[in-house]
């Protein structure tokens, strides 16, 4: 195994450790975690991963960078007729947070319940990324409180009044009786295909 492939293997081992513990092992224990035999090997590995932008040293400890949480982007793959496989010499990386979250200070997540938004690609159990304090316009998918009850729907304008439109013909448009407050705009979504 070449050095670059070994470093990726060590990096992935550290990612697994971080996911389980939300922290790195101490330098003394890192040799056992990644499978190295000496402290010198650990220091060299940390140096290489720091130089590559995956780790940083903070107050005498190692810490993850944004790149640590980035994963390989293999390119695009057709969902229809299979395509020829490209051989990538290098690869791009993608950080999900960078892709989905533009304003972390005013972003939250919300779990979708029900099937009223299937036409917009939102399924029961999906997580939506909600951006607060964002201007809204008709056509936006929003998390709103209508007459004291929360929902995820498309914002629409009918006869000069805002309404909440489901994206499933089995459901009716919600017209507020007393109040409608948009809590935030849905700017993305994600789901786990396996648990």
Q: Which residues are catalytic?
A: 116, 153
CA distance 45 to 10: 8
């Amino acid at each position: 195994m070449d050095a670059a492939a070994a470093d990726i293997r060590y990096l992935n081992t550290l990612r697994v450790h971080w996911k389980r513990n939300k922290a790195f092992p101490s330098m003394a224990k890192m040799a056992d975690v990644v499978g190295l035999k000496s402290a010198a090997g650990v220091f060299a590995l940390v140096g290489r991963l720091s130089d590559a932008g995956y780790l940083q040293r903070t107050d005498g400890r190692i810490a993850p960078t944004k790149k640590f949480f980035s994963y390989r982007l293999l390119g695009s793959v057709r969902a229809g007729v299979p395509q020829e496989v490209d051989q990538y010499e290098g690869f791009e990386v993608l950080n999900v947070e960078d892709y989905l979250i533009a304003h972390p200070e005013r972003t939250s997540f919300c779990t979708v319940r029900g099937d009223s938004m299937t036409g917009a690609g939102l399924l029961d159990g999906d997580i939506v990324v909600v951006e607060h304090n964002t201007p809204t316009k008709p056509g936006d998918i929003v998390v709103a409180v209508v007459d004291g009850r929360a929902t995820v729907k498309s914002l629409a304008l009918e006869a000069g009044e805002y309404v909440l439109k489901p994206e499933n013909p089995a459901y009716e448009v919600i017209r507020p009786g007393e109040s409608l407050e948009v809590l935030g705009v849905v700017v993305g979504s994600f789901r786990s295909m396996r648990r």
